[in-house]
Amino acid sequence: MSGKLRVLPLGGLGEIGKNMTVIEQDGKIVVIDTGLMFPTADMLGIDLVLPDFDYLRGRADDVEAIVITHGHEDHIGALPYVIRELFPEETPPVYAAPLTAEMARSKLEEHKLLDAVEVIERDCLEPWDAGPFSLELVHVSHSIPDACGVVVGTDHGSIFLTGDYKFDQTPVDGQPTDMSRLAELGSEGLLLLCGDSTNADRAGIAPSESSIGPHLEEAFARCEGRILVTSFASNIHRVQQVIDASVVHGRKIALIGRSMRRNFAIGRKLGHIYAPDGMVIKPKEIDDYPDDEVCVICTGSQGEPLSALRRMANNDHGQITLHSGDTVMFSASPVPGNERAVNETIDRLFHIGATVVTAKDAPIHASGHGYREELKMMINLTKPKYVMPIHGDFQRLVLHSRLAEEVGIDPDDIFRMENGLPLEIDENGARVGDRVKSGMIFVDGLEVGDVEDVALRDRRMLSNDGVFIVVATVSEQSGEAIGDPEVIFRGVPFMDDADDMLDDLKITVGTSIADLAKKVKNSEGVAESELREKLHNDVARFVYERTKRRPMVLPVIVEV
C-alpha cells in the first residue's frame, strides 16, 4: 500500500460557498469543485470571493484532474481564476456531466481560456482513471440537472463526495438520486463520506421540486399585473416551471440578467428547457404587451449589488422600470449571510409599490439540499468507515456530525474539519494533519487580490470615517511653510463649527511644519518622510479630539 492519503478542504467548511477540496496520494492530486462566494456587506467594492488555493501554486504538474459536481456558482464559479492563476502552461483536464461541462465551457470562453482547457463530459457510472486515482460520477437530485457526487478510488479505499443532493422521489426531470449505486458503495466498503451539511438544521425531508409547479400556477392566478420571478440563474428546473405556469396563464416571458439568458440558452440547447415558439420576447418588447400578459424571469434572488432585480429595485435598470401593480416572486431562499441584502431589496420593492411574494408567503421554493432525515439516509446507504461533514457553516457541520453519531458512526471516526486542515489516512487509521494556508482571495474588477487585501481595509476606513487630505507647500532650503496649507475632506461628518475647525486645523499643520523647520535651521536635516509622518500624526490627533472619529489622513508635501 502507498503512503498516506490526504483530503484537504480549501473552501466550503465554516461557510456556505467557495467549495473546493483537494485529494492527494503519492504526490498526485485531484481537485473536486472550484467554487466562489459572493461578497458580504463589509467587503466594500469586492466583486467575488475565491478560496485561497495557494497550496496548489507551483504544483501544476501534480494535478491530474479537476472534477466539477454541478453548475452552481459555489462549485464552478472560480474555475476560470483557478485555471489562469495555477496553470499558466499545461492545464489538467476538467471533468463534469454534460450540462455542467457546457457551463464550464461557457465560463472559460468568457475569460478567453477555453482553447487552453480540455473539458471532458462524463456520464454517471462511467469510471475513468486519473493518475493513481479512479473516478466516477454518481447522479444525485438537486436544483439543477446533471448534479453528481464523485467517487474517488484510492489505494486506501474509496472516498465519496456527495456534492449538493437531496432524495427527491419525484424530481422534475424524472431522475432521482441513484440510491442503488449508493447502496453498492456501502456494500463494497466506503472509506470516507464527505457529505453536504447545508440543511443539517432542518428536520424531516425536503419538499420535492415537482411540488413547486402547481403552487407557482396558483400564485400566478392571483396576479393581475406584470409578474417578475427571481431565482438562481442555474436553477433550470425552476425556470422551466415558471415557463409552464406562464403558458397556463397566457403570459409571454422575458429573460433579464446575463447569467439567466446564458443558462437558458444552454438548457434549451441540451433539452432541459422547453418554451413554445414565439413565447420568449426581448426585454425591450415588454412594454408592447399588456401587463397581465408578461412574466419576467430575472437574476437577483440573493440581493447581489449588480443583479437585475437589485437594479430594478433601485430604479437603475435600463430595460425595465417597476411600478405599482407589479408582483415580484422570490422563488429562492437567502443563502446564509445574504439575508440583509435580500431584505434591503424587498424593502425597496415595497417602497416602489410592488407586491412581494416569498417562500414564507407561498410554497414557491423548495431547497435543493436534503434535510436531516436525508442526511441520515445517505450515511446509512453508504456505510462509511469515516465521516467528514462539508459544505456548511460550523453550526451545520456540528449538527451533521451529531446525525452521524445518531446512526451509529463512532464519534472517533467523525472529523469536524476546517478549511486548510487536512484529514490524513493510512494503514494506521485517520487523523487530523498539520494546517496549511487557507482563507479568501478577493476579485476586484479584473484583479485577483492578495488574501490580506490592504485596499479592502482602506475602503472600510473610508466608508466609516471619510478622508482628510492635507497639502502643505514648504521651502526646500529652510523647511518653512510657504502660504497656508490646503485641507480637502470627503465623507467626514462635520459639526456646525466646520469653518472654525478648519482654521484650527491649518494652525495645527503650520505648527507641525514650524517644529520641523527648526531642525533644518539647526542643520539636523529633515527627510520628507519624517515631515509626512509628523503631519499625519498631528492631524489625526487633532481630528480625533474634535470629532471622536479616525478618518484616513493623507498628507501631501510639495517642496519648492
DSSP code of residue 334: P
For domain 209-357, which architecture applies?
3-Layer(aba) Sandwich (3.40)
Position 69 pLDDT exceeds 60: yes
pLDDT band at 538 (very low <50, low <70, confident <90, very high): confident
Instruction: Specify the range with the lowest mean pLDDT, choosing from 292-306, 411-425, 545-559.
Output: 545-559
Least confident of 233-237, 375-379, 483-487: 483-487
pLDDT in tens, 2-37: 679 999 999 999 998 999 999 999 999 999 999 998
**Under 8 Å between Cβ of 304 and 341:** yes
The per-residue pLDDT for 473 is: 79
Spatial distance between the Cα atoms of 24 and 33, rounded to a whole number of angstroms: 15
Q: Give residue 406's pLDDT band: very low, low, confident or very high (50, 70, 90).
A: very high
pLDDT value of position 498: 66
pLDDT tens across 175-215, in order?
A: 999 999 999 999 999 999 999 999 999 999 999 999 999 99
Helices (H), 16-151: 73-76, 79-86, 98-110
Q: What is the 3-state secondary structure (H, E, C) of 450-461?
A: CCCCHHHHHHHH
Q: What nine digits make up the cell of 56?
A: 496548489
- The three-point CA angle 542-545-547 to 5° equals 100
Q: Where are the beta strands (DSSP E) in 38-178?
A: 48-51, 63-67, 94-96, 119-121, 128-130, 133-139, 148-154, 157-161
The CATH homologous superfamily of the domain defined by 5-205+367-448: Ribonuclease Z/Hydroxyacylglutathione hydrolase-like (3.60.15.10)
Answer for the pair 384, 193: CB distance below 8 angstroms, yes or no: yes
Question: pLDDT band at 38, cuts 50/70/90?
Answer: confident
pLDDT of residue 449: 61
Whole-number mean pLDDT of the chain?
Answer: 88
Q: Any idea which fold 466-559 has?
A: Ubiquitin-like (UB roll) (3.10.20)
Is the per-residue pLDDT at 495 higher than 60? no
Confidence of residue 467 (pLDDT cuts 50, 70, 90): confident
Q: For the residues 484-497, what does the mean pLDDT come to?
A: 68
Share of the chain above pLDDT 90, in %: 67
pLDDT at position 418: 96
- For the record, the C-alpha cell of 379 comes out as 450515511
Q: Where along the chain do its domains lie?
A: 5-205+367-448, 209-357, 466-559
| Cross-strand bridge partners of residue 357 | 329
**Above 60 in pLDDT, residue 452?**
no
The pLDDT assigned to 451 comes to 42
pLDDT score of 446 more than 60: no
Lowest mean pLDDT among 73-77, 248-252, 464-468, 475-479: 475-479
CA 493, distance to chain mean position in Å, is 34
The model's pTM = 0.81
When mean pLDDT is compared across 292-301, 387-396, 408-417, 506-515, the lowest value belongs to: 506-515
pLDDT band at 374 (very low <50, low <70, confident <90, very high): very high
Predicted confidence band of residue 528 (pLDDT cuts 50, 70, 90): low
Residues with Cβ within 8 Å of residue 5, at least 6 apart in sequence = 23, 24, 25, 154, 155, 156, 424, 425, 426
Contact 21, 418 (CB under 8 A): no
Residue 425: pLDDT over 90:
yes
Mean pLDDT of 127-146: 96
pLDDT given for residue 520 in this prediction: 53
Reported as a single tens digit per residue, the pLDDT across 142-157 is 999 999 999 999 999 9
List active site positions: 196, 369
Residues contacting residue 136 through CB under 8 Å, at least 6 positions apart? 124, 125, 126, 127, 128, 150, 151, 153
The pLDDT-based confidence of 339 (bands split at 50, 70, 90) is confident
- 451 grid coordinates: 488574501
- In tens, the pLDDT along 254-287 reads 999 988 999 999 999 999 999 999 999 999 999 9
Q: Is the dihedral of CA 265, 266, 269, 275 positive or negative?
A: negative
For residue 31 the three cell numbers come to 481537485
151 close to 160: Cβ distance less than 8 angstroms: yes
Instruction: Evaluate if residue 103 carries a pLDDT over 90.
Output: yes
Range of weakest confidence among 301-305, 306-310, 314-318: 301-305
Query: What integer pLDDT is reported at residue 497 of this predicted model?
Result: 60
Task: Provide the pLDDT for residue 474.
Answer: 74
Confidence of residue 555 (pLDDT cuts 50, 70, 90): confident
- pLDDT at position 525: 52
Please classify residue 446 by burial: count the beta carbons closer than 10 Å to its beta carbon, then call 0-12 exposed, 13-18 middle and 19+ buried. Answer: exposed
